[in-house]
Chains A and B, each alone.
Chain A
Amino acid sequence: MSDKHSFEKSFREVRTMMRMIVLLFLAISGVLLFVLFDPDLSSFQSARPASVVNVQDSLDQGLVDADYDAIENGIHLRTGFVEAEGLMTVVNNCTNCHSAKLVTQNRMTREGWEATIRWMQETQKLWDLGNNEAIILDYLAANYAPEDTGRRANLADIEWYVLEESSD
């Protein structure tokens, strides 16, 4: 029994080590190949600088724990969820498989959110939420409830401009 365990343990260690080596080699060959194809690293210079800055920002967020769940103007920056009671329970249960955007762009009653949870549990491998279910439903029903908007909302966010004659 213990022999088998220690064999499995060392097997796992060897496997982990192999994976590390493979990853390291991939990284090195990736860099080498990149330099081979693009010796002066020009693709780093011509790309949009704004997105390079964004990459750095998100890396920083991941490294500094304090900023990871930062909230600004009542919004949880990492997910876009509204800051309210139950926020972290929602973040921890509702963003593993899909983006928070799938939640925040929807509006449902408590019954609607509950039906959605049941559907995810029956068909999409969502786990039993236990005591967290009430916390999540309360949060969603309070912060992502439908508004009675009427038949057609007025056009919004119009950017007015002077129309020049089109070429087509």
Chain B
Amino acid sequence: MKRRQFVRRSGLASLAALLGTEIVYGANLPEGLPLLGLQDPDPFKLFDKDPGMTVLNDKPWNIEAKAHLLDDAITPNKFMFIRNNGKIPEGIDLNTWSLTIDGEAVQAPKTYSLEALKSRFPRYTYQLTLECGGNGRSEFNPPAKGNQWTVGAVSCATWTGVRLRDILEDVGITDEAVYIGYHAADTHLSGAPELEPISRGVPIAKALQDETLVAFQMNGKDIPLAHGFPLRLVAGGWPASASGKWLNRLSVRNIVHDGEKMTGSSYRVPCEPVAPGEKVANEDMCIIESMPVKSLITYPKTGATLPLGKALNFRGHAWAGELTVKSMEYSIDFGATWQGCSVKAPANRLAWQRFQGSAQFPKKGYYELWVRATDSQGNAQPMVLPG
């Protein structure tokens, strides 16, 4: 990032020096001349991702992991899914980047530089589960519209930043506050400057939680460009689209935020149970808040063969949005019988939990190992996708 900026600046500077004048159209350059890095045809090098990741879409970039790539307790960047609604911003300047807090429910708008955010408020680090609201969509029947995520649009990295609550207390919000909505530097696919690719948010109660961060680090380093550099809202346990990347403005609203992808069928589900594929009126759709209970076997990779009599040690992660996973079970007979296995406490609230177990097989043959998690309110994973 820095080196590319350096290249561009020195290019301008040398030309300016030669002509002895200001480059009038210098400011227009990024428009017709994308950063060299973003032209790289290899997304794995471009975003520093493992070659085993699956590219679902290259305009905009959408990339997911496979189950066995998510075995780490803390997801490294190389295995973290990328979900974009628009174009990744270019030419980010840390010196001029700022975060403005505005909206109907602030006493007065206030703007912070990156430096001010980092120095004025205490820092916190949490491991937070971020799962795309559409993760698992590929199994829906009839099919759901959009990127056909299988199982790999989930991650649990550590995020470091300041509490949104501390910022909002410093700004001063009124009793009218209902929701916060983010605004960011990514740009619309159509190129229309007045359109935002996405502008979502969370209710004020979620915004004020300890773990809701305005983050500037992921896994102890600057947030990678594709994941929101230099600033990202992180609201763990909710659809990851609530965690706005490239954050530059937060509006404290006196209504449920009505930004792009907050309405219609975006990140909303029928409020009441409906038949698969049934058309649902706009007013009967509800915003997805806490994500439902789920688990994923990350070891061994699908396709394992082993000698008869040998136990299969397996493990993975389970998570339950705002809740915790209280028990895990596994089945080797398509759900006819279930046995318990162990599940650890999360590293902190809203982090996924490690489960592990060992399965014995009675005779030679083809088996599928299934696991199911049950959350702290007794909800278990359904055996079929209720699509």
Task: State the A residues within 8 Å of B (CB).
Answer: 15, 18-19, 21-23, 25-26, 29-30, 33, 37, 47-48, 51, 54-55, 58, 97-99, 101-102, 105-108, 112, 116, 119, 124-126, 146, 148-153, 155, 158-163, 165-166, 168
CA distance A81 to B189 in the complex (A): 20
Say whether B24 faces chain A, with CB atoms less than 8 Å apart: yes
Contact A99 B384 (CB under 8 A): no
Kindly state whether residue B176 has any CB partner on chain A within 8 Å.
no
Please tell me which one of the listed residues A19, A33, A126 contacts residue B32 in the complex, with CB atoms under 8 A apart: A19
CB atoms of B25 and A29 under 8 A apart: no
How long is the Cα–Cα vector from A105 to B143 in the complex, in angstroms? 10
Q: Which positions in B face A, CB cutoff 8 Å?
A: 3, 6-8, 10-12, 14-15, 18, 23-26, 29, 32-33, 36, 41-42, 45, 55-60, 71, 139, 141-143, 145-148, 188-192, 195, 264, 299-306, 312-313, 315, 368, 384-385
Minimum Cβ distance to chain B for residue A54 (Å): 6
- Chain A residues with CB under 8 Å of B33's CB are 23, 26
Contact in complex: B29, A22 (CB < 8 Å): yes
Docked-complex contact B145 and A158, CB < 8 angstroms: no
B381 shortest CB reach to chain A, Å: 13
Chain B residues in 8 Å Cβ range of A126: 190
The reply to whether A58 and B148 contact each other, CB–CB distance below 8 Å, is no
The reply to whether A124 and B189 form a contact with Cβ atoms under 8 Å apart is yes
- Known A21-B15, A25-B11, A108-B143: A162·B60 in contact at CB below 8 Å: no
A163 pairs with B189, CB closer than 8 A: no
Quick one: given A25-B11, A166-B313, are A161 and B146 in contact (CB under 8 Å)?
no
Q: Which one, A48, A99, A146, contacts B59 given CB within 8 A?
A: A99
| Interface SS majority for chain B | loop
The one of A30, A108, A160, A166 in contact with B145, judged by C-beta atoms closer than 8 angstroms, is: A108
Contact A29 B11 (CB under 8 A): yes
Does the CB pair A163–B385 fall under 8 Å? Answer: no
Residues of B within 8 A of A55 (CB): 41
Nearest B-chain residue to A58, judged by Cβ: B41
Residue contact A30 to B26, C-beta cutoff 8 Å: no
Name the one of B143, B147, B189, B384 contacting A151, with C-beta atoms under 8 angstroms.
Answer: B384
Among the listed B14, B36, B145, which residue makes an inter-chain contact with A25, where contact means beta carbons less than 8 Å apart?
A: B14
**What are 27 A-B contacts with C-beta separation under 8 Å?**
A22-B15, A25-B18, A47-B45, A55-B41, A58-B41, A97-B59, A99-B57, A99-B58, A101-B55, A101-B59, A105-B57, A105-B147, A105-B148, A106-B148, A107-B142, A126-B190, A151-B385, A153-B139, A160-B303, A162-B304, A162-B305, A163-B305, A163-B312, A165-B313, A166-B300, A166-B313, A168-B71
Within the assembled complex, what's the spacing in Å between the Cα atoms of A159 and B264? 40
Nearest first, the 3 A-B pairs at minimum CB distance are: A99-B59, A125-B190, A163-B304
**In whole angstroms, how far apart are the Cα atoms of A98 and B191 in the complex?**
11
Known contacts A25-B14, A37-B3, then 14 further A-B pairs from the complex at CB < 8 Å, ordered by chain A residue: A15-B25, A22-B11, A26-B29, A29-B7, A51-B41, A97-B59, A97-B191, A98-B60, A99-B57, A99-B60, A146-B142, A151-B384, A160-B303, A163-B304
Q: B23 to A161, Cβ gap below 8 A? A: no
A129-B158 Cα distance, complex, nearest whole Å: 46
> Within the complex, which residue of A21, A101, A162 is in contact with B57, where a contact is CB–CB below 8 Å?
A101
Given contacts A166-B300, A166-B313, A98 and B305 within 8 Å (CB-CB): no
B10 touches A18 (CB 8 A): no
Residue of B nearest to A59 (CB): B41
Q: When chains A and B are docked, how far (Å) is the Cα of A153 from the Cα of B10?
A: 56
* Chain A neighbourhood of B26, CB < 8 A: 22
CA distance A163 to B302 in the complex (A): 10
Cβ A168 vs Cβ B58 within 8 A: no
B139 touches A168 (CB 8 A): no
A50 CA to B7 CA, complexed, in Å = 27
Distance, CA A126 to CA B195, complexed state (A) = 13
**In the complex, what's the smallest C-beta–C-beta distance from B139 to chain A, in angstroms?**
7
Residues of A within 8 A of B41 (CB): 51, 54-55, 58
Would A51 and B143 count as touching, CB distance under 8 A?
no
Smallest Cβ-Cβ distance to A47: which chain B residue? B45
Q: How far is the CB of B141 from chain A (nearest CB, A)?
A: 5
Q: How far is the CA of A87 from the CA of B334 in the complex (A)?
A: 43
Complex interface: chain A residues within 8 A of B384 (CB): 151-152
What are the residues of chain B within 8 A of A48 when measuring CB–CB? Answer: 42, 45
Taking CB atoms, residues of chain A closer than 8 Å to B139 are 152-153
Give the shortest distance, in Å, between A166 (CB) and chain B (any CB): 6
- Chain B residue numbers with a CB within 8 Å of A97 are 59, 189-191
For B58, the chain A residues whose CB sits under 8 A away are 99, 101
Q: Pick the contact of B143 from A106, A155, A159 — CB < 8 Å?
A: A106
Q: How many whole Å from A125's CB to the nearest CB in chain B? A: 4
Give B54 Cβ to nearest chain A Cβ, in Å.
11
